[in-house]
Homo-oligomer: A and B are copies of this chain.
Amino acid sequence: MNDLVSMKQLSESEILALLDRAQNFETYGARELPKKYTVSNLFFEPSTRTKTSFEVAERKLGLDVVPFESGLSSTIKGETLYDTVKTLESIGVDALVIRHPDVGYYNQLIGKTNISIINGGDGSGQHPTQSLLDLYTIREEFGSFEGLNIVIAGDIAHSRVARSNADALTRLGANVTFLCPTEWCGEFNAVHEWDENLLNSDVIMLLRVQHERHNEKSIFTKESYHNQYGLTLERAKRMKENAIILHPAPFNRGVEIDENLIECSKSRIFKQMENGVYVRMAVLELILNGRN
Contact = CB atoms under 8 A, between A and B. Distances in A.
A74 B87 contact: no
A145 interface: no
As for how many copies of this chain the complex holds, the number is 3
A56 B91 contact: yes
Contacts of A142: none
A67 B67 contact: yes
Contacts of A51: 72
Interface residues of A, number: 53
Contacts of A80: 253
A249 interface: yes
A221 to B, nearest CB: 16
Contacts of A212: 77
B67 A48 contact: no
Given A66-B55, A66-B59, A83 B47 contact: no
Interface string A237-264: 0000000000001111100000000000
Contacts of A79: 48, 249-250
Contacts of A249: 74, 79, 83, 87
Interface stretch (A15-23, A175-183, A271-279): A271-279
26 contacts: A43-B72, A46-B73, A47-B72, A47-B73, A47-B74, A48-B73, A48-B74, A48-B87, A49-B74, A49-B87, A49-B91, A56-B93, A60-B64, A60-B92, A67-B67, A77-B212, A77-B250, A79-B250, A80-B253, A83-B249, A83-B250, A83-B251, A89-B270, A90-B271, A90-B273, A91-B274
